Amino acid sequence: MELEFLGTCSGQPSKLRNVSSLALKLLDELNEIWLFDCGEATQHQILRTNIRLRKITKIFISHNHGDHIFGLPGLLSTRSFQGDVGPLTIYGPAGIEQFVKTSLRISKTKISYPIKFVTLEEAGKIVSERGFEVYTEKLDHRIDSWGFRVVEADKAGELLMDKLAEFKVPNGPLLGKLKRGEQVELADGTVLNGKDFLGPAKKGRVVTVIYDTRSTASIRRLADHADVLVHEATFDASEGKLARDYYHSTCTQAAETAAACQVGHLYLTHVSARYVGPLASQMVKQAREIFPATTLARDLDSFIVPMKG
């Protein structure tokens, strides 16, 4: 599991940062990549990575402001040129289906694969498949905005071969059953319960993605004990009133959430273009005074989300 930031600027692109998009790379787990938001020129950013559009199977849209969705038509169109790419699902607020279909219709763009739209209307589970679940809750922005919590299922413990050695179990189906925690009978009549030969289960990882919002209780439900919290930080600590007026968050509000929710690491994104050089360093310092495990994400930064234990 890996995070790759494709755009980390708020509102409009700058010379150093593109507008919002984040790739959650689940290549080892699912052989898929999931995108969170798709601002203008996201596909241009992807050209600077090893991401293949055919691997993108899900796109989660937090809200319908342009800096989060204007890259969709182009990316969807280009994906059609990648051969037999398979279906794609877009999860987003009411209006996202109309935006995409209108853009493609007016530009007479033909898409070679099926696109399914899932409209976000209430809090709850929106994905459950192959060991992953995704939950969403509404945030507090000027228009409907949604946060996301990706939960990986726990992994079964490893088979303890040293403990099993005395029983001389042959390679093959019996070992496979024991690895699955099933009961087997050996040729000499010995019955073994696989659960007795498994190490401790490994906790699945949790990634929470929070874009445009004021501080609100739903964020803490989504971020509770997450391994990674990606949180918008449009302003620094001195601009609390401005953040509230524009329905955004400060870096210290993000850090306070990370501390309260006991997350593993906080990545700040959606940063105003004014925060460069010393001002960017100051923003990180402010956040780290509250939550030391904080990183200010930059375009094309990539981070592994390690397994627990």
Confirm if 111 and 168 have CB atoms less than 8 A apart.
no
HSE of 160 in the Cβ direction (CA atoms, 13 Å)?
15
Residue by residue, DSSP assigns 50-105 as: S--GGGEEEEE-----HHHHTTHHHHHHHHGGGSS---EEEEESTTHHHHHHHHHH
How far is it, in rounded angstroms, from Cα 227 to Cα 229? 7
Rg (CA), the chain: 22
Which of 28, 37, 67, 236 is the catalytic position? 67
Query: Which residue is listed with tokens 């000027």?
Result: 142
Confirm if 40 and 66 have CB atoms less than 8 A apart.
yes
- Annotation says 144 is catalytic: no
Enumerate the active-site residues.
Answer: 67
